[in-house]
Amino acid sequence: MTEEVVIIDDEPANIIWLSDFLEDSGFKVSIRTDVNTGIEEISPKKARFAIIDLNVPVFPPLSAQVSEKGELYQQYPGLFVAWTARNIGYRDRQIVIYTVHRDSRVADESKKIGCTYIMKGRPRMLKDEISHIISFDPTKED
């Protein structure tokens, strides 16, 4: 069965290259453009991994939960998707978050949550990271 990868990014036209790359690697790609639909996509079934842009919109009722998580989550709502994913059984190497700007607070939070944090801008870096993830099968390791 084809495994699914979920991409959450509010500007899908800019990440079609990533979708092409993942499809060529044998995955089915689902793109979602906000926190709410992103969580809907990853919650009922386990995707192989999720790639999450941190600057994505969030709507009620989840916006209240994002606000409760504090200022950093309000600034980067995609963090809430990563946090949710880690709390419903996704492992650290299955969650990749990215931003355009370097932010040490995000780096600290990603360590706390346990996920991979990379900067947007260098497609080769993201591809290398994905190759690293693909080499790991979460169903076969503890």
In the complex, the residues that contact other proteins under the rule CB under 8 A are 10-18, 20-21, 24, 33-34, 55-57, 59, 77, 100-101, 120-124, 126-127
Nearer to other proteins, 101 or 105 (CB): 101
Nearer to other proteins, 4 or 34 (CB): 34
Of 64, 76, 60, nearest to 8 by C-alpha is 76
Minimum distance between the CB of residue 134 and other proteins, rounded to whole angstroms? Answer: 14
- Report the alpha-carbon distance of residue 79 to residue 69 in Å, rounded: 10
Nearer to other proteins, 72 or 91 (CB): 72
* Residue listed under structure tokens 């607070």: 105
Task: Specify whether the CB–CB gap between 61 and 39 falls below 8 A.
Answer: no
Minimum distance between the CB of residue 1 and other proteins, rounded to whole angstroms? Answer: 22
Minimum distance between the CB of residue 41 and other proteins, rounded to whole angstroms? Answer: 18
CB atoms within 10 A of CB 63: 16
Torsion of CA 102, 107, 110, 114, to 10 degrees: 130
Nearer to other proteins, 74 or 138 (CB): 74
